[in-house]
Structure 1
């Protein structure tokens, strides 16, 4: 077999492989000889089938198997011999001419094919360059913990039916039917809906008109949907709601004590405060982690500059671009609405894709040299987390990750990356800095900060809001009179 490099341009490589017809025929004969004692043919005793007859019967089939094995096994062996790693699966080209292919299968013509690929560049780690990190930490005051506990208590408080009229803060149980121009609209009906007056869960003007109602009352109220209401068919429209009041209840006295904690599944008020503090610390810790990671990636970006495989950059760019265009389409916006052009956006996200690929290669090299491993238990947890996101489809999701090439790698990659970041952080020069929560949450607007995350958010600063609006629109289609809940029930979180 002859292996010849025909292209070495940057990271691109092309290899021509020629397996002489004589060599192919020799391998074929070896296989036929091995099969001679195993094949059973009518008219021939076992082991007595002439080679010429075997070749006539099975020659092309065996040769086709041989060709497939060469195509499957040789590229990897060639790369190993050359000391190269391909960025993606090498592209294999061979003759598509049927007559020529038949000659190869008849061992009358050399078998030729070519490999085209991009090599992963050699990365020389800069062990003498120590990373420096400023880790912003929030000192959580007791007052903030107490505010959060009070919010949880508000959501967990009980109501007792009262006689008389509903006041601000009371909970009313109602049936309602919404109409526009006298006709009911989708999502405008609900029975036994519970609403705390003043909670601002319903559109402006709705809750205020329930003040003064009492059980058994029926009334019609008129409201107008906001001009920017997510459901376009309702935005700016005037609507009436026929309401039947079933119950009026006043909130019980709010007390932060062990009894409240037990209602939430905790043994004491002290434990409730401890859990709440832990939740707040976790929330701030995630932001701290993101800022630390940003600093590390920015410094690696400065330290490591090299050509990246175009195939990897193309794949990463296509993933980014698909998401960007999908977000714009769903929001009904254009690039001009985001104060940019498609050409400028493509250029920007292309740079982002190149950065991601380059840093991915750097982190991979650092992790490999440091012996970073992803344990089976970590992969199992990641898989279970994926499965949990698709209730009722657990089996299909499991089968997908078991049968789809590369699916498991999509779970492993983020785990590996975070562990490499942890490794780098353990070796970095870290300075802790106490900041306010406002300082921690503030977006960095300097050039360095924008390179990492802000660059990923252009024009995503607006898109983040759009995503919320899309969710609100979904909720609006279900119950147009309601606003989308901001987050999961605090009591459940506790």
Structure 2
């Protein structure tokens, strides 16, 4: 087997690989010899079929396998000897297309090598970490927000008209073709206008009614309505409005706290304080992570594989295009050409991605099975009732696993970098942290 270098420009590499006919024949004979003891054929005892007959019967198929194995072996041997790491899957193409049995095999291989990553002195990094405490004002604000969600209703002033968002207490009787139907009647029913809990059009017709008013509400049941005897039918509901109530926030007390599963108001405040500080910690970490990446980007510079940069730029351009055109759900749209700005961002991502991968490898950082399982379970919760199916799907999909593993690995590398850097904590206000987070989105 012969490997000859044909290209060495920057990170681009090219090689010509020759696998001799003699090498191929030796591989075929080796495979036949391994299989011979288990082969049975009419006229011969098991394991006693002569080699020439085996070669005539199976030689062509084994020749193809041997050719692929020889080429793969040559490529692997080259990477082991050279120390090169291809940025993407190498391209390999057979050049003697008129090849016939007995000829040598000529293959051209090309790839872009990953660059040498320079050493980084992490001890020289200076990182500022924001710290925010959940003060009483923030807890009170969160309590008020909870009270809004746990709203009650109180009677409006006599003669007031019902508004969207109000609650009307009604008696109603539904009729189709003048006949009342089963399940179409109720008394003292509290209906929140705008909740869309009734047939489309029902609630809209009650906006503006007053307590004591009677109204005939005309609607049409949807074609796909669950009850077949009502689907697509016109109906009239005779409605009597008994009360019109406006929403009011729940009173902040022990009773409200118990609605949210807390023992009392003090316990609820404690839970809210913990939740807020957890949110602040997560936001502060995102800001710190950007600081780390910016610092690393300033520290290192090395040649980047053009193919990786091009692929990343196209992905960025495509993603941003869809964000700007949310009405287009599919991908059957004109090709989106990356701009200079997209390419610049792609270069940063590729450079930092390669650097973090190198730092993580040197620090022997790995994503554990427990961490992967937890990540899958967290994401599976987004699919109620289908958690097991999602879990199994991820476990059987290597690409999906890699997509979930990558951010976990990156976060662990960031933690490793922070451990070796000079980190100072700075206590800031919630507003200052919020401003820093908003600036992340703007970049």
Note if 1:418 corresponds to 2:411.
yes
Q: Is the 8 A contact 1:173 1:247 kept in 2?
A: yes
Among 297, 318, 323, the alignment partner of 1:327 is 323
Q: CA deviation at 1:157?
A: 3.7
Instruction: Look up the match of 1:16.
Output: 16
2:343 alignment partner in structure 1: 350
Does residue 271 of structure 2 align to residue 281 of structure 1?
Answer: no
Q: 1-side partners of 2:291 and 2:118: how far apart? A: 21
| Whole-angstrom CA distance in 2 between matches of 1:424 and 1:128 | 6
Which of 125, 147, 151 aligns to 2:145? It is: 151
SS, match of residue 131 in structure 2 = strand
- Between 136-145 and 407-416, report the one with greater CA deviation: 136-145
In 2, distance between residues paired with 1:120 and 1:215?
Answer: 79
Deviation per CA, 1:269-289: give whole Å up to 9, x if none. 111111112222233223212
Match of 1:299 in 2: 295
Q: Distance in 1 between matches of 2:72 and 2:212?
A: 77
Residues 36 and 49 of structure 1 are in contact (CA less than 8 Å); yes or no, is this contact kept in structure 2? Answer: yes
CA distance in 1, matches of 2:32, 2:135: 82
Distance (Å, rounded) in 1 between the aligned partners of 2:297 and 2:442: 15
Deviating beyond 6 angstroms after TM superposition, the runs of 4 or more aligned structure 1 residues are 160-163
CA–CA distance in structure 2, aligned partners of residues 111 and 361 of structure 1: 35
Give how far 1:152 is off. 0.7
Tell me what 1:482 maps to. none
Mark the structure with the bigger radius of gyration: 2
Cα–Cα, structure 1 residues 196 and 171, in superposed 2: closer, same or farther, change >3 Å?
A: farther
3-state SS in 2 of match to 1:172: strand
Q: Distance in 2 between matches of 1:252 and 1:405?
A: 52
Shift of 1:196: 8.9
Which moves more between the two structures, 121-130 or 291-300?
A: 121-130
Partner of 2:6: 6
Structure 1 residue 6, shift from structure 2 partner: 1.7
Matched with 2:180 is none
Q: CA deviation at 1:10?
A: 0.9
Residue 308 of structure 1 and its aligned partner are, at CA, apart by 1.4
How many angstroms apart in 2 are the aligned matches of 1:371 and 1:173? 66
Q: TM-score, normalised by structure 2?
A: 0.77
* Larger deviation, residues 398-407 vs 157-166: 157-166
Residue range with higher mean Cα deviation, 61-70 or 246-255: 246-255
Q: Distance in 2 between matches of 1:377 and 1:30?
A: 44
| Secondary structure of the corresponding residue to residue 135 of structure 1 | strand
Residues 1:194 and 2:192 aligned together: yes
The CA distance in 2 between the partners of 1:19 and 1:264, in whole Å, is 73
- Range 274-283 or range 375-384, more displaced: 274-283
Q: 1 CA distance for matches of 2:42 and 2:371?
A: 57
Query: What is the 5 A alignment of 1:433-472?
Result: 433-442=426-435, 454-455=442-443
Q: Cα RMSD between the aligned structures?
A: 3.5
8 Å contact kept, 2:91–2:111: yes
How many residues are aligned here? Answer: 389
1:247 Cα offset (Å)? 4.5
Question: Unmatched 5+ residue regions in structure 2?
Answer: 172-188, 196-203, 218-238, 329-335
Q: TM-score, normalised by structure 1?
A: 0.70
**Pairwise CA distance, 1:301:** 0.3
TM-aligned CA deviation for residue 423 of structure 1: 1.6
Contact 1:172–1:196 (8 Å) recurs in 2: no
User: What is the match of residue 66 of structure 2?
Assistant: 66
Instruction: Name the residue aligned to 2:211.
Output: 214
Match of 2:231 in 1: none
